Structure 1
Amino acid sequence: MNTNQLRQEIIDYSKEIGIDKIGFASADVFESLKDRLKRQQELGFQSGFEKGSVEERTEPERLMPEAKSIISIALAYPSRIKNGPKSTKEERRGVFCRASWGTDYHDVLREKLDKLSQFIKEKIPEAATKVMVDTGELSDRAVAERAGIGFSGKNTAIITPEFGSYVYLGELITNLSFESDTPLEDGCGTCTKCLDACPTGALVQGGQLNAQRCLAFLTQTKDFMPDEFRSKIGNFIYGFDTCQAVCPYNKRVDFHNHPEFEPEPEVAKPKLKPMLSLSNREFKETFGHIAGSWRGKKPLQRNALIALAHYKDETAVDEIIRVMNHDPRPVIRGTAAWSLGKIGTDEAYSAIKDAKEHEEDDQVLAEMDKGLEFQKTSSA
């Protein structure tokens, strides 16, 4: 079988198994990406979540010595929750970013890529493949860009003509040679809406991200959130997608092509107070199947405390006091104290002062002092 015929059969089969978009690229070195990544390292802009060295992330042959081509796929996901629950004064809610609605996309894309891999090997038994989704060394976005899936927007997301940037990406490296698709032309032009909307200046310039200032990254960290970012995340408890929401290519884009990605309203927009008392088992049962659970419950509970402070939710004071007094984790106790100060009731301030008497952790004590500072500024 010649590769042109196989290429078309792969495209046809990809539609059968629910892949929304597919493209083919060479396995040549990603030279311009290599330069960008080295520059990111020099500037300290990396998140620390990246896998592999710069060379492994830009040289496909390091991952598969016989690599000739890369097949890139994209699956569209919804941007709106049908009949989403409303946050009320009695029951404030947090929100997961759109990319964490529904079943963990890593699992869904990997299953489809495995099917694609099996299909290829049935046609060409000597074919070799390597599947990657997000957690692999290669940059999904660089592969997708080269394969003509979409262009790389100023918000650093791949923007497709059909689905905007609301797509999950994955790829398959193979030792087969396929004709490459043509990359799309940049479509951002002079638009700077994403740069203007970024609340922390994380988008340093079009296409360059300082991950250390990106709220999507910061919601996934496990330590105390730096002070300057706490007022910025609002009620996001995982991820942050304002830079996608403001993009003109995403206007009125809302695809519901895959039942697996349909948001469960009570999971995508959970009540905040119950999150503070989740056991490990309850957390796994409720959130374990979504992408936003990968860092465990601690970051989400910390962010829930920050969200309750954002709302100045006085109905949560008793529960937050309980957390401050009894949670064994310093980050959670300290953030609870800060949250109480931000909410600012007399009961909250009194509880912080009492808790200071028996707190021994220096970082928690520092957060308690921050919480009490709000009392000074509010009465000044």
Structure 2
Amino acid sequence: MKTLAHHNTQLIKQKAQALGFQFCGISKAEFLEEEAPRLEAWLKSGAHGKMSYMENHFDKRLDPTKLVPGAKSVVSLLYNYYPEKDFAQENPEAPKLAKYAYGKDYHHVIKEKLKEFMSILTEEIGEIDGRVFVDSAPVMERQWAAKSGLGWLGKNTLLINKGHGSFFFLAELIIDLELEPDGPIKDYCGTCTRCIDACPTDAITPYHLEANKCISYLTIELKDELPQEFKGKMEGWAFGCDICQDVCPWNRFSKPHNEAHFEPKDGLKELFNNNWQDLTEAVFREAFRHSAVKRTKFSGLKRNLEFVGKN
């Protein structure tokens, strides 16, 4: 006999798919016991660099019931952002931009979908207490996604899905609804070390990321001057970096997204096709309006461009 938890679990997975999420997995909302010592050791080693916010809310990162009192389930979701055409890397002379930043800022796009998701569930099931998250709170997104079987944490520490690779945004519902949890899957990295070998700043060792050496950290999170030790090692990346994903064999299975909001604007394409030396604050504001690149501010992007020798 099918239980209410089973019915609600199937409903949630069906609605997730209808909203465009490629994968949906469920975990019991409980303390991430195995992650606690790993997170503590990572922070103590200083691998998080100047991301001091990572040191905050240690308990909340590990225990979803401290974020949502009474929470019973964590619903993990993956939303594809792999582009059909990698326009930002077509011109070898142009600076490089991480694929996730080609279109509209994913925080806004996915947050709207999550709000709609909660609204649909409330209509179908009744009052649900919970919160939605998309890279916006102390939630260990990759760990929850792995716990629910959506993939495994690769040697580059990213979540890898066996059938579709790793070019996904992660999001969660943490809710007070009893659901049927999924289980984790095995690690399929095997003996492969392509991500480790390809990283030009030596940020990756197996299953460990020195974030303070990562090009994404350096070009986005770090607000100071870029350390001279990385001069000549950035390989043209001006915002983020996709190297460890581009070389990952599992990403040969990546499929183009069908999210109109993630398509690059004409102004951004023009910027990549023309001379970046013409980048002014007005051009920056127009090209990156509603884009995740706004995070660096004009001064930050100029700093990056000058450092990688693209301006």
Change (3 A) 1:275 1:287: farther
Who is 1:41 aligned against? 43
Who is 2:291 aligned against? 290
Which deviations, in whole Å up to 9, do the C-alpha atoms of 1:292-323 show, x marking residues without a partner? 222312221111112336xxxxxx6xxxxxxx
Who is 1:27 aligned against? 29
1:9 aligned to which of 8, 11, 22: 11
CA contact (8 A) 1:216 1:238 kept: yes
Work out which of the two has the higher radius of gyration on C-alpha atoms and give 1 or 2: 1
Change (3 A) 1:86 1:241: closer
TM-score computed with the length of structure 1 as normaliser: 0.75
CA contact (8 A) 2:235 2:308 kept: yes
- Return the letter of the residue paired with 1:217: Y
Who is 2:69 aligned against? 65
Who is 1:114 aligned against? 115
CA contact (8 A) 2:88 2:97 kept: no
Which deviations, in whole Å up to 9, do the C-alpha atoms of 1:175-223 show, x marking residues without a partner? 11111011111111111111111112211x2111111111110011222
Change (3 A) 1:184 1:275: farther
What CA distance in whole angstroms lies between the structure 2 residues aligned with 1:80 and 1:303?
A: 26
What CA distance in whole angstroms lies between the structure 1 residues aligned with 2:26 and 2:11?
A: 13
What CA distance in whole angstroms lies between the structure 2 residues aligned with 1:139 and 1:214?
A: 19
State the structure with bigger RCO (CA 8 A, min sep 6), 1 or 2: 2
- Return the letter of the residue paired with 2:214: C
Change (3 A) 1:180 1:212: same
What CA distance in whole angstroms lies between the structure 2 residues aligned with 1:104 and 1:275?
A: 25
What CA distance in whole angstroms lies between the structure 2 residues aligned with 1:32 and 1:263?
A: 40
Residues matched between the structures, number: 305
CA contact (8 A) 1:163 1:253 kept: yes
What CA distance in whole angstroms lies between the structure 2 residues aligned with 1:154 and 1:219?
A: 22
What CA distance in whole angstroms lies between the structure 1 residues aligned with 2:104 and 2:219?
A: 20
CA contact (8 A) 2:76 2:170 kept: yes
CA contact (8 A) 1:78 1:254 kept: yes
Bigger proportion of residues as helix? 1
What CA distance in whole angstroms lies between the structure 1 residues aligned with 2:300 and 2:14?
A: 42
Query: Is it true that 1:249 corresponds to 2:243 in the alignment?
Result: no
Change (3 A) 1:277 1:189: closer
Matched position secondary structure for 2:76: strand
Aligned-residue RMSD, C-alpha: 2.2
Change (3 A) 1:21 1:49: farther
Who is 1:323 aligned against? none
Which stretch of the first structure deviates more once superposed, 173-182 or 281-290?
281-290
- Return the letter of the residue paired with 1:213: K
What CA distance in whole angstroms lies between the structure 2 residues aligned with 1:8 and 1:152?
A: 25
Who is 2:302 aligned against? 301
- Return the letter of the residue paired with 2:218: L
TM-score computed with the length of structure 2 as normaliser: 0.90
Who is 2:81 aligned against? 77
What CA distance in whole angstroms lies between the structure 2 residues aligned with 1:85 and 1:197?
A: 17
Change (3 A) 1:209 1:50: farther
Q: CA deviation at 1:283?
A: 2.2
- Return the letter of the residue paired with 1:219: T
- Return the letter of the residue paired with 1:170: A
Matched position secondary structure for 2:296: coil
Q: Give runs of aligned pairs for residues 219-258 of structure 1, distance below 5 A.
A: 219-220=219-220, 221-251=222-252, 253-258=254-259
Change (3 A) 1:245 1:140: same
Who is 2:101 aligned against? 100
CA contact (8 A) 1:81 1:263 kept: no
Who is 1:139 aligned against? 140
CA contact (8 A) 1:85 1:265 kept: no
What CA distance in whole angstroms lies between the structure 1 residues aligned with 2:274 and 2:227?
A: 21
Change (3 A) 1:252 1:171: closer
Change (3 A) 1:230 1:82: closer
Change (3 A) 1:235 1:265: farther
Runs of 5+ unmatched residues, structure 2: none
Runs of 5+ unmatched residues, structure 1: 310-315, 317-380
- Return the letter of the residue paired with 2:77: I
Residue identity over aligned pairs, in percent, reads: 31
Q: CA deviation at 1:145?
A: 0.7
- Return the letter of the residue paired with 1:211: A
Q: CA deviation at 1:173?
A: 0.2
